[in-house]
Structure 1
Amino acid sequence: MAVLLVCGCKTDFKRFESDRKVSFNAGWEFTLEAKEGVGNGGLDDRNWSEVKIPHDWSIAGEIKQENPSGSQGGFYPGGIGYYRKSFSYDSSWDGKNVSVTFDGIMSNSEVWINGQSLGTRPNGYVGFTYDLTLYLIVGENVLLVKADNSAQPNSRWYTGAGIYRNVWLNVKNKIAVAQNGTYIVAEDISNKSATIKIETVVENTTGDKADIQVVSIIQNRAGEQVAEIQNDQSIDANGQSTLNQKMTISNPACWSFDDPNMYLLLTKLVSNGEVIDEYETPFGVRDIRFEIETGFWLNGENIKVKGVNNHHDGGPVGAAVPDDVLYRRLKILKDMGCNAIRTAHNPFSPEFYHMADTMGFLVMDEIFDEWIASWPWEDYKDRGKVTHGYHEHFEEWSQRDLTDIIVRDRNHPSIFMWSVGNEIPDQCYPEGPERLKPLMETVHRLDPTRPVTAGCCFIHLANDTGFSSLLDVTGYNGGGGSVFYEKDKAVYPNRKFIATEIPHSFQTRGYYQTQTDMRSPQQGIHVPNLTESEVFADYTNKYYSSSYDNSSVRISARDSWRRTDSLAYVAGEFRWTGYDYLGEAIKGWPARFFNFGIIDLCGFPKDHYYYYQSQWTDEPMVHILPHWTWPGLEGKVIPVWTYSNADEVELYLNGKSLGAKSNKGQQNLTWDVTYQPGELRAIARTNGKVVSEKVMKTAGAPASVEVIADKNAFKADGLSCVHLEVNILDGDGNFVPNAGNQLKFEISGPVENIGLDNGDPLDLNSTKLNERKVFNGKALMILQSTGQPGEVLVKVSSQGLASASIKLKSL
């Protein structure tokens, strides 16, 4: 298979500006109250307030049971919001084309310039560009944006609301490379060379035919030129042309997980010896393929996809996710051994793909969560999954949205598959394959280098309609009994398999139950109860889920990965989910989300994190669960588990060995331990040598607050963020895993709180407040620069505890 090269921005993922593209985030005003005068730029000035773009108004709203978003939307508010930006005409724009790009407006947006409507866009996940050139005036200009997220529910999870992604102003010459106008494919890749095919679209908006030279230069990551080609090109007046070029790179440095090497394509347009346009496209050289019997291959190496599904929200910050917050979330996954992310279930921000490129993640880029149909047990099959979902727009907009995303993202080396749907009910009907075919045809036309998939649940119905067999690679979601692959392998021997969404397992950080809670175990592999009766009977809460890997749907995390790893023809799996996410609160009010993630809403790992780390990494590690602070359970037998990648683990209680056990071929090790306060110690050995050690101590009463910053200095740019992890400690400095103390934050200096959370699905307080309880001993505050330099002091206090302070610098 030919392989795509990739990217679309500078390898420094934090900055994307160029001579042609500058940030247009500053200077916006916002109102939720304006009703009259839409389109004339003259909405009532008394209702406007300054906001920072990206902006999500929903996350700052009150969580209420009566909000029409319901449990799917986490009971957050929707509504209609308006944004306004005034800006002066710049004389440097004379004779040039000026446009504005919105990377994401949630949702059903309309944009005006100086009272002139530029268009509407219903899909809140798909970016778009409007040409402003004909409507700009000398002097003051006004952009007005309507973001209509009032029709609820319109999604199966929290969407956010407003201009929640970046806005860009594009200024280019009348003859220029089109936006997203380069397409790069690497072929015939070997250690000695790689053939680079470049397709460049050039636009000419002058009234005259133009004769130019297109110069394409490839630079390595050191900035050294490694290839160059030049061709003459003629473009008709007010037209465009496509030029195909081919170059060779010697001794290519291929893109991979461990070494995500990027190249840069510099495209120059030359007229009469003068450079009239420059356009940069980062890319990576790599070879991907799927084989029927052996799954996925990257650069000639057979690789298991070790993936997670993630939604687009950033937890405490909602849908408007700063770069630093997104990077931290991805780094935590990388440290777990994760090598792939599925964009569940819509396109993500451009910044995400740039980070995936430069950090070394594979990406399954997913476009749609629904088409037209509803589930087969519903009365009306053509009404979608939710009342006001994308089914209302699919027939009119799906091809446009799909095209825009493919063209925008197809140069990213991280993307290795396109997914055109997730658990699409249409798969169950005869119409499903007919709706699938034109989507696949569009993807194959725009990007023939990557396979097309979709996440199929009720796989037996998708098989019956022929839907699943049309896909280049068939995606198996865990829903509807899509757990066992062997039966389909026997019936469809030439099928290519990947587990797109499995397992669905639940954990609440620091919460444990010894009685198994599984949904539909008869369709999967049942996990036995760990004890005859519940050990932690006093801790039962239906909104929380056990961290023993005994709370799930159909199959546990351990059984799911064991099967995926043992079946060579299954390319890998994307588990549901990497992070807890807002919405889809399946237990209903008063929960704002459920416990799907390996990592909680704040980015604090749960026990499952260490299970995957034991399976997905080679760096020696060992982890113990549960914690060892259980007042009132003295004398009770508690199952103690370890996760490790070492050969054996020996467990000690208060210095006494409870025995060493072989870890070879095991998913976890377990000891039945009679609880007594003190110290649990796990020692992991490989080849007889100690390679890792973990200690768990019984904590006393809460005594002090601890604050840990992920950085002590940050840029005074209005963008950079600092994460403050807050822990409750006892008098000996031990973490208190059952603490629930109320915290108060006092902040001075040029920062603002953009999100304070604790990971508790039942805590409905606003994340914008400076007070919150810890949940099971922990909380997280995210601070963002206001754009000014200076010293920052944060004091965190709790009644009856020793407070903590931390000093930071904005530079």
Structure 2
Amino acid sequence: MVTIFHRFLILIILLFIQNIYSQSTAKSIAVREKIAIDHNWRFAFGHLYDTDKDFNHATGYFSYLAKAGNGDGAAAPDFDDRAWRLLNIPHDWAVEQPFDENGSFSHGFKAAGKGYPEKSIGWYRKKIDIPESDLGRIITLQFDGVFRNSKVWFNGHFLGTEESGYNSFEYDVTDYINYGGKNTIAVRVDASMEEGWFYEGAGIYRHVWLKKTEPLHVATNGTYVTTDIEDDFANVTAQVTIENKGSKKGEVEIVQTIFNQKGEQVAKTSQKAQAPDFYGTTTVNSTLKVNNPQLWDIDSPNLYKLVTEIKRNNNLIDQYTTKFGIRSFYFDAEKGFFLNGKHVKLKGTNNHQDHAGVGAAMPDELQYFRISKLKEMGSNAYRCSHNPPTPELLEACDSLGMLVIDEARLMGINKMHLDNLRKMIERDRNHPSIICWSVGNEEWKIEGGIVGERITLTLQDYVKTIDSTRPVSVGISSGFKSGISSVVEVMGYNYLGNGDIDAHRNEYKEQPGMGSEEGSTFATRGVYFTDDEKHYKSAYDVKPRPSFYSIEEGWNFYADREYLAGMFIWTGFDYRGEPTPYGWPSVTSYFGMMDVCGFPKDNVYYLKSWWGTEPVVHVFPHWNWEGKEGEEIPVWVYSNCEELELFLNNKSLGKKKMKQNSHLEWQVTYKKGEIKAVGYNNGKKVLTDVQKTTGNPEKIALIAHKKQLTGSDDIAVITVETLDKKDLHVPTANNEITFSVNGGGKIIGVGNGNPTSLEKDKFLDDITTIAFTQLQEQALASEVLPETLSEYNESDWKEAFKDRDYKNLAPSYIYKTTFKLDELSKKDKITFFYEKIGEETAVFVNGHLIAPSQEDSQKYVLNNGVLKQGINTLHIIATPIHKVNDWAVINSSPGIIQVITPSESWKRKLFNGYAQVIVQTDGSDNEITVTATAKDLKSDTIVIKK
């Protein structure tokens, strides 16, 4: 018998179970989502000033600036973009263009930008589904970077303009959403203007995200973590800014939890706060103690994770994760730079965001690849020249242990300048790798005067309101005497030949300093005799110009001066543009320690000798000098060994002592065979390096930087080289290599490091669209659509839709138009994308009835059997569309013809023995097979696992 007591007990148990279940369910539901929306965008070129070629954008009676939701042309939600190219973000359209002598010297002579109005405007469109369950949340579009001057629409609503090509920015789209249906994002990018004097790319070249939060949430970049290290613990101050875009007020709980690199909880705190008012913010500070902290360092980059939770009535409202590191650092005017109490000489490089094959649109893994290459060279510092970097670059520096100078793009004190600076600092200030904010670089107009001094003082004070833990620097190049040089917190000397650094230091003894740029040396990888006719510079480290110094001279200067924190070489990698000292057909710089692929020039081994910690012996040049028998060849050895001995064909050419931060030279009469350098410490052999005369190339070798990929967009960077019959690398090989890929991946770029190569970076299908000539019509007496095309009286044709009486429509209409195919190849894929001009439709091309495709009833694939070169005729028979309202606009365009011409095979010539191919996974679990072939060479195949 069940008593009332038993029933009551059962009810209590059920309520308890329900409470436990609801709590566990609440924890499993994501209260904050950040979703990558990089895949499957549509792209097409617009036009800088011809509105017809810019999809008639901004020509409507009411423009997008006049009425809300009135995005027109390609900004309209219902615009038909099916004929546009399908691609993934990040995307750089500039790197896809051919080279042109009339192109910008600064941007590597690519046929893009202001001089190319048909390639200076790019349109991107994407449709996304947002479920009804998201109603009530705050939905935000976030762009990590668009070059440049972007305008964004969401469902036809104009969201705003971001002029800078380097800022991260976002838009709240909550009220514009079609919940439970399709939503259209449209972006117009204007890359006609250059912000820098170096290659910058064009397009949405960084990631795009869809963020979803509750109305009460942690604001964008809303945490600020600082650390204070004591003897055996660290105090971590966690400042969180809470934003309220809802109406709920009252008390909330802020929970801050720190986890170490193993995922173990090491600290936790909780405190109460009042929710801010509607569209308001409030800031909460918490202090957490971490015992025996694992410090972030360049050799052991330990990272922690702060998880910030907002709770109301014990229910989780938001959860926000911040990675950070516990470390201390400071610049000292006498002793240089200190990290975690230890003196560290900054061994840095300057770099732009640009890599062979992909331009500015670098996949995330490529950031890690490049930072790893710099670390291997012995570098410990990176200057973001001369703009805020992509977030993934900083994540790579955090993870791998690379110190960073983060730099703003443009110096000034007005709202634009200060807002851009604030955005950069708020986004980046939790990265432990960042040790300095640079607010300017070589601002020649103001460097030496009172205006520059005032601006610098204002910016330094402004920076301190956002981040008080890091100093401010400026790179100075026009003398080191007055103006900015007299007031900047950390002096940045750009090139010791531009002024007297010691004299400046003696005048400003309380001011720390560093070589923010040094070198600007010229070198072509694998070339050892300058050939100005071919635009090749010898790779030996020599003084490049009267007021500039070699890498060795520069490093000796900074290494010998304890008061200087270190130096940053111009540059770590070659980059497109600035092909000083040459012009066309040189298209990349010559400054890098590595070329645009990351293949090392010989200077890398000088730096590795004196920047690194491992023994190094590197002898050069190569020993393939057919035709130079009996001539003297300069032979250099880079090493950190105490003594070096050089051998020619096992005959000693003598030993020499190695001076600190120097190199050794021999003049050797060429004779084929081998040169060998042997390094000794304390009289004992330590290391040997050999250069051998090789035979002709006989086979290809492929080597991937990693053989297993993860995630949906991971890449493998594959080195391509040729070997002789003894498996020796052939350093003079310039064979053209053709690539193919099968399985779950694709090639996204090729390169070889040749500064004068005008070969394609990418091999893409050519997509063109063909508009129809004037559309004509005749009224028909029957609404039954025929399966064959009759003949019609030519005199009865009239202009379609002109003066049509929509209250007295014919049962059906036949429309006629033409399109021209200048060339017709069996490989071409030709598609008619029909835009609805009738309810029921029959389509005829050259008299043949065409069936719609199965996946899209308004798409017609046209095979070569119905097409002809020259003029083709299109007939459409359709029942009419009736107007619901007199003011309704009926579509009168039948659509567009798309022609896809498949590209030729991916290929690239070797340059002095090397080329590079970058392969990206398609997101599937299928392994990737890459094959390289060449005339008269044995092919090679490599398999990349998933």
Note whether the superposition's TM-score is higher than 0.5: yes
Tell me, in whole angstroms, the C-alpha distance in 1 between the residues paired with 2:471 and 2:623.
48
Q: Give, in angstroms, the shift of residue 664 of structure 1.
A: 4.1
Choose the corresponding residue for 1:682, options 668, 672, 677. 677
Q: Give, in angstroms, the shift of residue 634 of structure 1.
A: 0.9
Residue matched to 1:70: 105
* Higher Rg of the two aligned structures: 2
Q: Give, in angstroms, the shift of residue 459 of structure 1.
A: 2.1
Q: Give, in angstroms, the shift of residue 400 of structure 1.
A: 1.0
Residue matched to 1:470: 487
Whether 2:792 is the aligned partner of 1:798: answer no
The one-letter code of the counterpart of 2:87 is V
Tell me the alpha carbon deviations over residues 43-80 of structure 1, each in whole angstroms, 9 at most, x when there is no partner: 4535412111111111111111223x334444341310
Tell me the alpha carbon deviations over residues 514-556 of structure 1, each in whole angstroms, 9 at most, x when there is no partner: xxxxxxxxxxxxxxxxxxxxxx7xx554622111101524211
Choose the corresponding residue for 1:25, options 18, 27, 38. 38
C-alpha contact (below 8 Å) 2:309/2:317 kept by paired residues: yes
Choose the corresponding residue for 1:240, options 262, 270, 281. 281
Residue matched to 1:776: 912
Whether 2:542 is the aligned partner of 1:550: answer yes
Whether 2:714 is the aligned partner of 1:720: answer yes
Whether 2:444 is the aligned partner of 1:450: answer no
Choose the corresponding residue for 2:261, options 215, 221, 227. 221
The one-letter code of the counterpart of 1:41 is P
Choose the corresponding residue for 1:150, options 192, 198, 203. 192
Residue matched to 2:441: 422
The one-letter code of the counterpart of 1:340 is A
> Helix, strand or coil: the match of 2:297?
coil
C-alpha contact (below 8 Å) 1:507/1:551 kept by paired residues: no
Tell me, in whole angstroms, the C-alpha distance in 2 between the residues paired with 1:234 and 1:789.
48
> Percent same amino acid at aligned positions?
39
> Helix, strand or coil: the match of 2:189?
strand
C-alpha contact (below 8 Å) 2:233/2:291 kept by paired residues: yes
Residue matched to 2:742: 748
Q: Give, in angstroms, the shift of residue 358 of structure 1.
A: 1.0
Tell me, in whole angstroms, the C-alpha distance in 2 between the residues paired with 1:363 and 1:447.
15
The one-letter code of the counterpart of 2:385 is A
Unaligned 5+ residue runs, structure 2?
Answer: 1-29, 47-53, 57-72, 114-119, 764-905
Q: Give, in angstroms, the shift of residue 348 of structure 1.
A: 0.7
Tell me, in whole angstroms, the C-alpha distance in 2 between the residues paired with 1:566 and 1:448.
31
The one-letter code of the counterpart of 1:205 is K
Q: Sort the Cα spacing of 1:18 and 1:467 in 2 relative to 1 into closer, same or farther, 3 A.
A: farther
Tell me, in whole angstroms, the C-alpha distance in 2 between the residues paired with 1:794 and 1:24.
28
Tell me, in whole angstroms, the C-alpha distance in 2 between the residues paired with 1:160 and 1:806.
31
Q: Sort the Cα spacing of 1:685 and 1:353 in 2 relative to 1 into closer, same or farther, 3 A.
A: same
Tell me the alpha carbon deviations over residues 445-498 of structure 1, each in whole angstroms, 9 at most, x when there is no partner: 1001100001000124xx23x21121110100018x336421212222222111
> Helix, strand or coil: the match of 2:937?
coil
Choose the corresponding residue for 1:122, options 163, 174, 178. 163
Residue matched to 1:644: 639
Tell me the alpha carbon deviations over residues 213-265 of structure 1, each in whole angstroms, 9 at most, x when there is no partner: 10111111122221111110002331221111112211111110111111111
> Helix, strand or coil: the match of 1:505?
coil
Choose the corresponding residue for 1:197, options 237, 240, 264. 237
Tell me the alpha carbon deviations over residues 349-368 of structure 1, each in whole angstroms, 9 at most, x when there is no partner: 11111111110000000112
Tell me, in whole angstroms, the C-alpha distance in 2 between the residues paired with 1:593 and 1:416.
30
> Helix, strand or coil: the match of 2:170?
strand
> Helix, strand or coil: the match of 2:698?
strand
C-alpha contact (below 8 Å) 1:58/1:76 kept by paired residues: yes
Residue matched to 2:786: none
**How is 1:93-492 mapped onto 2 (pairs within 5 angstroms)?**
93-138=134-179, 139-151=181-193, 153-187=194-228, 189-238=229-278, 239-368=280-409, 370-371=410-411, 395-425=414-444, 426-460=446-480, 463-464=481-482, 466-478=483-495, 481-482=497-498, 484-492=500-508
Tell me, in whole angstroms, the C-alpha distance in 1 between the residues paired with 2:415 and 2:318.
35
Tell me, in whole angstroms, the C-alpha distance in 2 between the residues paired with 1:395 and 1:137.
38
Moved more, 702-711 or 237-246: 702-711
Tell me, in whole angstroms, the C-alpha distance in 2 between the residues paired with 1:410 and 1:791.
39
Residue matched to 1:389: none
Q: Give, in angstroms, the shift of residue 754 of structure 1.
A: 0.8
Tell me, in whole angstroms, the C-alpha distance in 1 between the residues paired with 2:469 and 2:928.
50
The one-letter code of the counterpart of 2:912 is N
C-alpha contact (below 8 Å) 1:59/1:76 kept by paired residues: no
C-alpha contact (below 8 Å) 1:75/1:583 kept by paired residues: no
The one-letter code of the counterpart of 2:89 is I
Residue matched to 1:6: none
Tell me the alpha carbon deviations over residues 712-740 of structure 1, each in whole angstroms, 9 at most, x when there is no partner: 3323x431111221112222222221221
Residue matched to 1:702: 697
Aligned-residue RMSD, C-alpha: 1.8
Choose the corresponding residue for 2:92, options 23, 48, 56. 56
**How is 1:509-588 mapped onto 2 (pairs within 5 angstroms)?**
509-513=525-529, 539-541=531-533, 543-553=535-545, 554-586=548-580, 587-588=582-583
Tell me, in whole angstroms, the C-alpha distance in 1 between the residues paired with 2:298 and 2:291.
21
Q: Give, in angstroms, the shift of residue 415 of structure 1.
A: 0.2
Tell me, in whole angstroms, the C-alpha distance in 2 between the residues paired with 1:304 and 1:802.
47
Q: Sort the Cα spacing of 1:487 and 1:102 in 2 relative to 1 into closer, same or farther, 3 A.
A: same
Tell me the alpha carbon deviations over residues 653-681 of structure 1, each in whole angstroms, 9 at most, x when there is no partner: 11111112112425101111111110111
The one-letter code of the counterpart of 1:206 is G
Tell me the alpha carbon deviations over residues 259-311 of structure 1, each in whole angstroms, 9 at most, x when there is no partner: 11111111111111111111111110111111111010111111100000010
C-alpha contact (below 8 Å) 1:314/1:326 kept by paired residues: no
How many residues align? The count is 740
Q: Give, in angstroms, the shift of residue 687 of structure 1.
A: 2.0
The one-letter code of the counterpart of 1:468 is S
Tell me, in whole angstroms, the C-alpha distance in 1 between the residues paired with 2:79 and 2:417.
33
C-alpha contact (below 8 Å) 1:74/1:158 kept by paired residues: no
Choose the corresponding residue for 1:624, options 619, 622, 626. 619
Residue matched to 1:379: none
Q: Sort the Cα spacing of 1:583 and 1:41 in 2 relative to 1 into closer, same or farther, 3 A.
A: farther
Residue matched to 1:591: 586
Tell me, in whole angstroms, the C-alpha distance in 2 between the residues paired with 1:584 and 1:492.
34
Unaligned 5+ residue runs, structure 1?
Answer: 1-16, 373-393, 514-535
> Helix, strand or coil: the match of 1:316?
coil
> Helix, strand or coil: the match of 1:354?
helix
C-alpha contact (below 8 Å) 1:74/1:584 kept by paired residues: no
The one-letter code of the counterpart of 2:923 is G
Tell me, in whole angstroms, the C-alpha distance in 2 between the residues paired with 1:295 and 1:478.
18
Tell me, in whole angstroms, the C-alpha distance in 2 between the residues paired with 1:202 and 1:56.
36
Tell me the alpha carbon deviations over residues 402-438 of structure 1, each in whole angstroms, 9 at most, x when there is no partner: 1111000001100000000111122134322222233
C-alpha contact (below 8 Å) 2:388/2:407 kept by paired residues: yes
TM-score normalised to structure 1 length: 0.89
Q: Give, in angstroms, the shift of residue 314 of structure 1.
A: 2.2
TM-score normalised to structure 2 length: 0.76
> Helix, strand or coil: the match of 2:462?
helix
